[in-house]
Structure 1
């Protein structure tokens, strides 16, 4: 899934912002839940983006983990950029391996999309607005700090995206093959077709999902998260 989004997402204007068919999203999730083999290339890119957000929203415990969330939200409060990057690296080392690997590949895909923002209009800030709420965890109606936490998470996601190379380096492990096509390749009909690896596996025992890291030894590791886009920037 991340593979397909990484390759075709850069060519989709306002990806993660446009609504996908609820019926198609529900059908894809049911197929993934049942363990069916799914060819991601045959799926609508908007449906994949929506299902990915739903997956992130329901990772058990949160992708940043509940025990570390407060530290993640406070990480941009003080210090120089170099100090913040060092602090982020320390927190990444404290995450379960599956969480850290998923974050690395997620931001790899987002980086490919942001790299073509002049075409798709998805700048680092716009992507942060769309993705950050899903990384906070399920909405807590009793939280008096929800909006404050959401604002901090948007800033954190934007910082992670803009400093991806310093945090994770140039080379991302081969979760997917090939490269992202350019807008010129799409308009000339030269979009390259490659085989994709499914990056997430759905199960649904109690409304939660499981993520399986393709580079792992086969164990499934539960992960979880939210959504809401603050109205801070007018979309092109």
Structure 2
């Protein structure tokens, strides 16, 4: 039973970590260029431009460090999975610990936002607020257009694995009932997410937004439990308990292959 839980928890964490790592890689490769295009709209003076160039160097270094850390997490998991008798409790504890460090990545991003904000003049800050509100508006519009995104993502991740495991009729029936619960739980998260974005957008409409307060609010919400990814982990654990030994062995193989590909991508 513990081994089956390991399979799904590992698979889930890999997907989460991959998304984070890809985000950092994109910031290194093209994200800074897009940021430059946005910053150009704020019209920095010579002193501010010089400061911004220094910030970009630090942001790039931070992104490289994040990618390196995520690659190391995956290497550690793969090393343990390659053992004849993997220490399941150790791997689960390790993955949970690394996953819970995720808010620190968000904090780094928010700290850079606050640092950039603080070098701006009032009229430039107003432009930054307008750009941030626009981003929130786009997020809210996307949620309105595709309200089932969260549940669809969770279900898709699970089905990618399950499609390769030849489920029997009992397992398929259980999975169908489980999808109903996943969608119900995801709707709750969508409602909360919409509320948070609406509140943040409202704060930025004020004459003098309190950026420190806004950042503290974002970090507070990101640390609340259970988060959507943590609920996804619970689904993986629950569903995978239904697997037979042959299915579990195949799942191990799938995870090892995915690990190798992701690690290779991160180390390029």
Taking structure 2 as the reference length, the TM-score comes to 0.27
Structure ranking higher on relative contact order (CA contacts 8 Å, 6+ apart): 2
Give the TM-score normalised by structure 1: 0.29
- Write 1 or 2 for the structure with the bigger share of helix: 2
